[in-house]
Amino acid sequence: MNKLSKVTLLLALSVASFSVYSVAQDSQERLATKHVIEGTYNKDGNSPVAHADSAPTGGGTKDYIPLWLSSTKVGISNIYQNSSGDIGVGTTTPAYPLDVNGDVNTATSFRVGGIQIALGNWSVGNAFLGFSGNETTTGTNNTSLGKSALNQNTSGIENTATGAYALTVNTQGEANTADGYAALYSNTTGTNSTAIGTFALANSTTATDNTAVGLNALLYNTTGTGNTALGVDALLNNTTGSSNIAIGINAGTGTNTGLNNTTAIGYYATASENNAIVLGSTAAQNGAANNFVGIDVGSPTNILTVLQGGGPAIADSWSTYSSRRWKTNIQTLHGALEKVERLRGVSYDLKANGQHEVGVIAEEVGEVVPELVTYEANGKDARGVDYSRLTALLIEATKEQQAQIRHQQELIRAQQAEIRAAQTQNAAQQAQITQLASQIHTIQVSLSTGQQRGIAVRTASVTTAARQ
């Protein structure tokens, strides 16, 4: 018999004894009755009155319920009753109908209003408190606290449910942790999931390996597995998608229900495609402002800011939004070559780590092409150069230079044509000169053969001329 049962028995016996005492005091004749075993007290209430042949022996104390030491001897129990009828066990100042100063032990459970409030079994490791758990489960090492928590568990093991209706429908699910009102409420056979927060994973049934922390986190998930949601309404609408991660209030996959392998980090961050990683959200999504991301930078000033001097990045390629769909007032650059001639390429060593590099000086570029330079908040101190957009300047500068080259080539070709014409003319003249030289040589040879022949020739020539 446990201690509480003993207390109940003692109370019953004490009430019966006091009833007998009262009857005896009302009638002196009954005090003499030998067949009634009774114990009465003097008017001072401190000592019993002994009656020959029937009265028990022993003593008592006011307001303490007597303890029968034998069939004829009464003593003092550890049970106290005050004038209000409150019973105290181990205390003389009971504040409740039953007030116990010390441990209370029960073999199975405690009930309130006929409903089990505490149940435990050391041998199988189960402990159920607060109208939770059930007496028929064969599962082991389960712990629950809260109305209907783990209420329908049949054989599930190693589950922990804290909060009203946490893991209520679980039957065979194992190694789940639910903390919060209706957390993992609908889980039946799912395993290895953790839900912390009101309605976290409330609709999950057979899914496994999910973690949800926050009000309504993964609320509508049913069979999606391997998801992690941290924040109020994180991954709220996911139902069957798996391997997703969402960190932040309303972070997740938006209205999509079955995406896989997504990561959304930040307030209202939304991943809308499979295998996507999204950092932050836009002003349209969060109602405040676009998020800035910093890598090793605590106060990013751009959509993405990387630590200065943190080291080079590497990738296969980088594409910049550039469609005419998003542009207006499109104008071709003019005077690009002249601007390029004003720029200066330099080599330098970084002050931070001494690394040797080549590039340009932002301040110098700002004097020529200010559109390519970013500045500090004061608007004066140059911070960076958009090297990629220098390409546009170089393209037009190259085209201007090519135009000059083509013009020069045309001039050269014209000059070459003139030169060739002059060379042709020179060649003709040279031929004439050669011919004349040959004729003069012939004449000179002829003259050198003798004077007489020469005279005859001259005479003949003069005669012929006169005849004509």
Residue 123 has pLDDT above 50, yes or no: yes
Considering the domain boundaries, does residue 230 fall inside one? no
Domain encompassing residue 24: 3-100
CB 146 within 8 A of CB 160: no
Indicate if the pLDDT at residue 288 is higher than 50.
yes
Total domain count, the chain: 1
Whether residue 109 contacts residue 130, with contact meaning beta carbons closer than 8 Å, is answered with: no
Please check whether residue 173 is in contact with residue 167, taking contact to mean a CB–CB distance below 8 angstroms.
yes
Task: Please give the structure tokens belonging to residue 193.
Answer: 């999931």
Residue 165 lies in a domain: no
Residue 272 has pLDDT above 70, yes or no: yes
Q: What percent of the chain has pLDDT over 70?
A: 84
**Domain membership flag for residue 87:** yes
Closest listed residue to residue 159, CA positions, set 226, 110, 216, 134? 134
| Residue 10 is assigned to a structural domain of this protein | yes
159 with 170: CB under 8 angstroms?
yes
Q: Which helix (H) or strand (E) holds 53?
A: none
Q: Does the pLDDT at position 364 exceed 60?
A: yes
For 392-404, what is the mean pLDDT? Answer: 96
Helix (H) or strand (E) holding 43: none
pTM score of the predicted model: 0.66
Residue 461 pLDDT level (bands cut at 50, 70, 90): low
Q: What is the pLDDT of residues 52-81, one digit of tens each?
A: 455 777 778 889 988 888 888 988 888 999
Cβ 49 vs Cβ 28: under 8 Å:
no
83 assigned to some structural domain: yes
Nearest to 337 by CA among 388, 402, 385, 387: 402
Residue 263 · residue 278 · CB < 8 Å: yes
Mean pLDDT value across residues 184-192:
98
DSSP string, 227-258: -EEESTTTTTT-SS--S-EEESTT-B-TT-SS
**Residues 6 or more apart whose Cβ sits within 8 Å of residue 426:** none
Q: Cα(40)–Cα(48) distance, rounded to whole angstroms?
A: 5
| Residue 386: predicted pLDDT | 95
Supply 416's token pair: 């070459």
CB-CB contact of 174 with 153 (8 Å): no
pLDDT at residue 171 in the model: 96
Give the 3-state secondary structure of residue 435: helix
Would residue 60 count as lying in a domain?
Answer: yes
Quickly state the pLDDT bin for 163 (edges 50, 70, 90).
Answer: very high
Domain membership of residue 214 (yes or no) is no
Mean pLDDT of 248-261: 96
The predicted-structure confidence for 13-48, as pLDDT tens digits, reads as follows 343 333 333 333 333 333 333 333 344 444 344 445
pLDDT class for 220, splitting at 50, 70, 90? very high
What pLDDT was estimated at residue 451? 54
Q: What is the mean pLDDT of the chain?
A: 85
Residue 96 lies in a domain: yes
